[in-house]
Amino acid sequence: MNPLLQDFNTAPFSKISNDDYIPAIKKGIEIAKAEIQEIVDNTDTPTFENTTVALDFTGSKLGRITSIFFNLNSAETNDEIQKIAQEVSPWLSEFSNDITLNEALFAKVKTVYDTKDSLNLTKEQAMLLDKQYKGFARNGANLKEEDKTKLREIDAQLSKLSLKFGENVLAETNAFELHLTNEEDVAGLPESAKEAAKEIAKSKNKEGYIFTLDYPSYIPFLTYADNRELRKKMAIAAGKKAFQDNEFNNEEIVLEIVNLRQKRANLLGYKTHAHFVLEERMAETPEKVIEFSNNLLKKAKPAALKEFENLENFAKKLDGIEKLQKWDGAYYSEKLKKELFDLDQEALKPYFKLENVIDGVFEIANRLYDLKFEEVFNIDKYHEDVKTYNVTDTEGNFIAVFYADFHPRKGKRNGAWMTSYKSQQIKDGINERPHVSIVCNFTKPTATKPSLLTFNEVTTLFHEFGHALHGMLANTTYNSLSGTSVSWDFVELPSQVLENWCFEKEALELFAKHYETGEVIPMKYVEKIKESASFHEGMQTLRQLSFGLLDMKWHSEDPSKITSIKEFENDAFAETKLYPDVAENAMSTAFSHIFQGGYSAGYYSYKWAEVLDADAFEYFLEEGIFNKEVATKFKENVLSKGGTEKPMELYKRFRGKEPKPDALLKRAGLL
């Protein structure tokens, strides 16, 4: 029996073999099609219940199967899984088109939609109906037959191309290693980075040290290695991922993706892909996003240029460097930061043992939202590194299952993300609770040391856990509006706001304890963490804005005339450029957020959400960071509400007013 087709509560990872996926996905599609056919064949007059609600509950079996499959394709993949992904992705985009282009089904949805004013719907019901109708209209339901066929072809191509894009980036990441056997080549690197590099070498039966393009290996190397030539080698290798003359080159793929997206938008009656995407976001239009970005750019650029000049002078004074290059930035920033704040990232790490940070984030969630986390060992998992927890409230009511997967390995993509294996919904009077997971890439424990996090990794863990809270505290009726199913430029608010607790003495005292002595992190460090938080904020802001503006340039103009990715990028980066260009590097060919993840025409949302999060956290600061009343307002109006109302309405109900960028500019020291 195929375990994926049985009824299961938590995902039955250990029972699944790769051979199960294709038949299970085929069958899942079949079941979902039958559920939809039932709605279509119903001869009763279409109503909110028999059409809108019924449609929202279809495909749950398929959803659970594909969530397991695609989550593993990111966190524990292999050649076989990647092959299966290439095979099933077009089926799934075809199936989703089968729904949105099903005329009989759309006619029913439209009948209900056209009578919505007389139906006396709650806000959540109205939102479901609106979202459903737009889901059809925005995916071609109003198109002529031949255009529907074109749309299907475009969608099938796009799903294959974005998978291929991601596979190429992963292959290029895995293909590079810097193998060093000479002690002076690793001068400057902290013990922890050297020890991790030794373990990698040992795992490949080699002497010495191996550094890779995985972040826990790459970032310390660029930040601390004294050997400038080797830093250059690493930086250039990272910058030319999928931009080399080999089988993994993504240049053609990028051009194909942007042109197909443009064609798709035009087909649906939109000027560009960005106009299409942003219609359903808080930002609404590309013009608004570009104006928002340029306003921040105006405020950040003078600060960034000044910071860059100071950094260049510092490198010149220290080492006679005439021209600061990209592979010098992190290295000299770290040295300057140490000189200015006497803050050594390595000296902080002993206070951030992974297990303590996890306990800390749990304790903060408990104080704010009355949640309790208990590690359990009877839940199936896909790798021994994964930790599993039962989440309850203080009354003992079951809230969620929580998975956490913290360390890098060969089959896991870089970065950090939150995902879910089962979403929350209320069905047949039962509140089905969610199964939520976070995946990160933190240094593994070694023979002599536990996993000790950099402060940056601590904020990453808090960030992903903020997303997880959004998933776990979901409390809506309909699955498609639950948890993180909110407009994309609102989804980063819960994650980014939680990062703020990492900078507060009251929160740090709960978990930042020396892993050997148990001593609480000295307050002088906390003050320095806070002081240094806005260090080089001008440059950081410029960097984020440059990514967002590149994304908008790809997607808010007609891309059909673009022939050179490199020239196009240089043009897009003109206003935000600080370092000299590196001819053999490109950003877009490995810009997975916009060509593989869901951030196309949406990268600006990180900055957008920062405005929201700074404004929201200011409220906590005014009332106390563990203030129950403010926390409850945030939980009730933001974390539990998912996409049941317009995000600005939810935000204003929590905050009492619209957000202003002042709190962000103040926090960043840019006012």
- Considering the domain architecture, whether residues 24 and 104 belong to the same structural domain is answered as yes
3-state secondary structure of 520: strand
Distance CA 95, CA 299 (A): 47
- Considering the domain architecture, whether residues 436 and 364 belong to the same structural domain is answered as yes
pLDDT tens string 568-627: 999 999 999 999 999 999 999 999 999 998 899 999 998 999 999 999 999 999 999 999
pLDDT tens string 471-489: 999 999 999 999 999 988 8
Cα Rg for the chain, rounded, in angstroms? 25
> Which structure tokens are listed for 184?
């002076």
CATH code of residue 467: 3.40.390.10
Helices (DSSP H) in 605-659: which residue ranges? 605-623, 628-634, 647-655
Helix (H), strand (E) at residue 391: strand 387-393
Q: Is residue 108 part of a domain?
A: yes
pTM of the model: 0.84
Q: Is residue 631 part of a domain?
A: no
- Is pLDDT above 90 for 527? no
**Which residues are known catalytic residues?**
464
Beta-bridge partner residues of 404: 387, 438
Beta strand spans in 417-507 (E): 417-422, 425-427, 430-432, 435-439
- Considering the domain architecture, whether residues 71 and 194 belong to the same structural domain is answered as no
Q: What pLDDT does 661 receive?
A: 85
Under 8 Å between Cβ of 630 and 623: yes
Mapped to the 3 state alphabet, what secondary structure does 71-124 carry?
HHHHHCCCHHHHHHHHHHHHHHHHHHHHHHCCHHHHHHHHHHHHCHHHCCCCHH
Q: Which residue range is the domain that position 384 belongs to?
A: 350-481
Under 8 Å between Cβ of 362 and 384: no
Alpha carbon distance, N-terminus to C-terminus of the chain? 63
- Considering the domain architecture, whether residues 27 and 94 belong to the same structural domain is answered as yes
Q: What pLDDT does 112 receive?
A: 97
- Considering the domain architecture, whether residues 200 and 92 belong to the same structural domain is answered as no
Helix (H), strand (E) at residue 402: strand 398-405
pLDDT tens string 370-383: 999 999 999 999 99
pLDDT band of 660, cuts 50, 70, 90: confident
Q: What average pLDDT is seen over the chain?
A: 95
- Domain termination site, one of 465, 481, 497: 481
Name the DSSP letter for residue 560: G
Rounded to 5°, angle at Cα 90 from 84 and 91: 85
Q: What pLDDT does 662 receive?
A: 87
* Residue whose entry in the numeric block shows the structure tokens 């790490």: 349
Q: What pLDDT does 547 receive?
A: 98
Q: Is residue 293 part of a domain?
A: no
Number of domains within the chain? 3
Dihedral in degrees, nearest 10, Cα atoms 465, 468, 469, 472: -150
- Considering the domain architecture, whether residues 94 and 200 belong to the same structural domain is answered as no
- Domain termination site, one of 456, 481, 506: 481
Count of other CB atoms within 10 angstroms of residue 79: 9
pLDDT tens string 587-599: 999 999 999 988 9
> Which structure tokens are listed for 187?
């001068």
Angstrom CA distances, 354 to 250, 358, 445, 462, stand at 36, 6, 9, 12
Q: What pLDDT does 645 receive?
A: 95
> Which structure tokens are listed for 486?
């909110």
Distance CA 501, CA 613 (A): 12
435-439 vs 398-405, strand pairing mode? parallel
pLDDT tens string 387-398: 999 999 999 999
- Considering the domain architecture, whether residues 105 and 194 belong to the same structural domain is answered as no
- Is pLDDT above 90 for 205? yes
Distance CA 206, CA 449 (A): 22
- Considering the domain architecture, whether residues 81 and 204 belong to the same structural domain is answered as no
Q: What pLDDT does 523 receive?
A: 85
Q: What pLDDT does 184 receive?
A: 96
Going by C-alpha positions, the residue among 441, 231, 223 that lies closest to residue 335 is 223
* Residue whose entry in the numeric block shows the structure tokens 């895995």: 174
Q: Is residue 445 part of a domain?
A: yes
- Considering the domain architecture, whether residues 136 and 183 belong to the same structural domain is answered as no
pLDDT band of 410, cuts 50, 70, 90: confident
- Considering the domain architecture, whether residues 121 and 192 belong to the same structural domain is answered as no
Rounded to 5°, angle at Cα 22 from 16 and 26: 120
Distance CA 188, CA 180 (A): 14
Rounded to 5°, angle at Cα 533 from 581 and 539: 20
pLDDT band of 56, cuts 50, 70, 90: very high
CATH code of residue 25: 1.20.1050.40
Q: Is residue 457 part of a domain?
A: yes
Q: Is residue 597 part of a domain?
A: no
As a whole number of angstroms, the longest Cα–Cα distance in the chain is: 82
Distance CA 118, CA 154 (A): 38
Q: Is residue 296 part of a domain?
A: no
pLDDT band of 668, cuts 50, 70, 90: confident
- Is pLDDT above 90 for 125? yes
Count of other CB atoms within 10 angstroms of residue 378: 7
Residue type, 157: Q
- Considering the domain architecture, whether residues 109 and 222 belong to the same structural domain is answered as no
Q: What pLDDT does 10 receive?
A: 97
Q: Is residue 509 part of a domain?
A: no
- Is pLDDT above 90 for 414? no
Beta-bridge partner residues of 430: 427
- Domain termination site, one of 448, 481, 514: 481
- Considering the domain architecture, whether residues 104 and 194 belong to the same structural domain is answered as no
> Which structure tokens are listed for 635?
């939980």
